[in-house]
Structure 1
Amino acid sequence: MGAYSGQFITPGRFAGKVAVVTGAAQGIGQKVAERIGAEGGSVVLVDRADIVQDVAKGIQEAAQESGCGGSASSVTADLESFAGAEQAVNAALALHGRVDVLVNNVGGTIWARPFEEYDEEKIEREIRRSLFPTLWSCRAVLPAMLAQESGTIVNVSSVATRGMHRVPYAAAKGGVNALTQSLAMEVAGRGIRVVATAPGGTEAPPRKVKRGPEAESATEKAWHQAIVNQTVESSFLKRYGTLDEQAAPIVFLASDEASYVTGSILPVAGGDLG
């Protein structure tokens, strides 16, 4: 754990950069953090699951072994509250004195079901999970980036803004898209870029910490399978993507190579535009 094993590496691309990656304990967030560390960045991994500490330790050990110049530390925080987002940003500032990159990766469908099958509590939980961590983290990091007159925010949205059996999640990610474009316009003249990727279906190892309960009944399994079928059918490539295929554009947009890109939402879904 910790050594980036993907096929895409640009040595030194993040040398001297401090990157905060949220939702970094597993999945896309972990892969992004590992890659930025392998490319020489100082990465602060944030998650509410304690296993994020192990991921950071692995990245740190891999960086020392390879001599790539990267480093890693972790913060355990619940980003569904502004206090948690401030805690994460303040920890990065206390350790490094600046934040050059923020990758907002927290979110994900908790339940899969037709909209009429969501009750009030489930709808509110979906919105809190997939909109507020990005909203709060953007707000928390903004004062530091404005003070240093530089910074890049990469939000991980979703092409599921047009999809089935997850309307509240789609609404939350639509909010992330609006946040990205509105904030990008607001801060472009102050040295800050704000961009997003919109992943499609992505193959990943079984989650170590579940977002919600597993589908149990035949009906619940059918609702979930309908999402899988629609996701593959909507993709021109007729398949799910890989974690490497999702991490690559995120890391590119976070880097100085994308210095003329802001306000954009890049679909990464095999041709599905969401």
Structure 2
Amino acid sequence: MTARARFAGKVLVVTGAAQGIGRGVAEGAAAEGGRVLFVDRAPFVDEVAAAADGETAGFVADLESPAGASAAMAAAIARFGGFDILINGVGGAIRMRPFDAFEPAQIEAEIRRSLMPTLWCCHAALPHFLARGGGTIVNISSNATRGIYRVPYSAAKGGVNALTQSLAMEYAGRNIRVVATAPGGTEAPPRRVPRNPEGETAQERAWMAEVVDQVTHSALLKRYGTIAEQVAPILFLASDEAAYITGTVLPVAGGDLG
């Protein structure tokens, strides 16, 4: 355990916990004393959870469906007796391309990937939080609500922001905090499971290069962030240190407010 123990006595459910920012958040919470359920549809989430410090468990679920979200919350209750904090980390643009080049099925896939897991998990967690008298939800959104070549993803993350603010207003009187961060471009290790299993064409790689240029130029700091720089504000918002913060979407994008 680190010198800090902000999550001692707390149980957290972290989704998207097999890779990237979600993994960093889950590992960080466990290192600070939390008991953590790592949730992901990647089968190696059990392996990632087992390698983390502290009391952890992995659970495989497809959170694009309400059944998957409900199963994840039930797993946390069965394994740990309940949970105090939900951190929604599932999402990420599948494709980068001009909007007119998206096919209808691709648009729907982006919305399912980057909005529905957060929506379904919030919905599945609320009965437990209401029964226990409170809880905290941290949604990982994006500053890409303004950006090029990812309009469906931008729309999905705009939905996450609206969900965050509306839930916070609706449930503040029930002792439930709902907050979000809006990460900008973030350097991350190569993914074990790519977001787009079909691979990229040369044209898509060229569009992606333009996105990288736009993201870097739009950031006042003129660089991508690190996983650690994204994890720190998420854990702060999840902790009791942020007890008087709700309904806030915090940009973490080097000065680019999205």
- TM-score relative to the length of structure 2: 0.98
Q: 1:15 aligned to 2:8?
A: yes
Equivalent residue number for residue 260 of structure 1: 244
Equivalent residue number for residue 146 of structure 2: 162
**Residue identity in the other structure for 1:88:** A
Q: 2:210 aligns with which of 198, 214, 226?
A: 226
Equivalent residue number for residue 26 of structure 2: 33
Structure 1: gaps spanning 5 or more residues:
64-70
The percent of aligned pairs where both chains have the same amino acid is 62
Equivalent residue number for residue 99 of structure 2: 115
How many residues align structurally?
257
Equivalent residue number for residue 68 of structure 1: none
| Cα distance in 2 for residues equivalent to 1:108 and 1:28 | 11
| Cα distance in 2 for residues equivalent to 1:139 and 1:244 | 29
Q: How much has 1:221 moved relative to structure 2?
A: 1.6
Q: 1:214 aligns with which of 199, 205, 225?
A: 199
**Residue identity in the other structure for 1:79:** L
Q: How does 1:105-184 map to 2 (within 5 A)?
A: 105-184=89-168
Structure 2: gaps spanning 5 or more residues:
none
SS at match of 2:144: helix
Does structure 2 conserve the Cα–Cα contact (< 8 Å) formed by 1:215 and 1:224?
no
Q: How much has 1:118 moved relative to structure 2?
A: 0.2
Q: How much has 1:244 moved relative to structure 2?
A: 0.2
CA-atom RMSD in angstroms: 1.0
SS at match of 1:106: coil
| Cα distance in 2 for residues equivalent to 1:215 and 1:98 | 42
Q: How much has 1:258 moved relative to structure 2?
A: 0.1
Equivalent residue number for residue 90 of structure 1: 74
- TM-score relative to the length of structure 1: 0.92
**Residue identity in the other structure for 2:169:** M
| Cα distance in 2 for residues equivalent to 1:170 and 1:183 | 20
Equivalent residue number for residue 67 of structure 1: none
Q: How much has 1:214 moved relative to structure 2?
A: 3.1
Equivalent residue number for residue 66 of structure 1: none
Q: Could you list the per-position Cα deviations for residues 228-258 of structure 1 after superposition, in whole angstroms to 9, with x for gaps in the alignment?
A: 0000000000000000000000000000000
| Cα distance in 2 for residues equivalent to 1:269 and 1:78 | 28
Runs (4+) off by over 3 Å: none
Equivalent residue number for residue 240 of structure 1: 224
Q: 2:186 aligns with which of 194, 202, 208?
A: 202
Equivalent residue number for residue 57 of structure 2: 73
SS at match of 2:92: coil
SS at match of 1:159: coil
| Cα distance in 1 for residues equivalent to 2:206 and 2:200 | 9
Equivalent residue number for residue 100 of structure 1: 84
Q: How much has 1:10 moved relative to structure 2?
A: 5.1
**Residue identity in the other structure for 1:41:** G
Does structure 2 conserve the Cα–Cα contact (< 8 Å) formed by 1:25 and 1:51?
yes
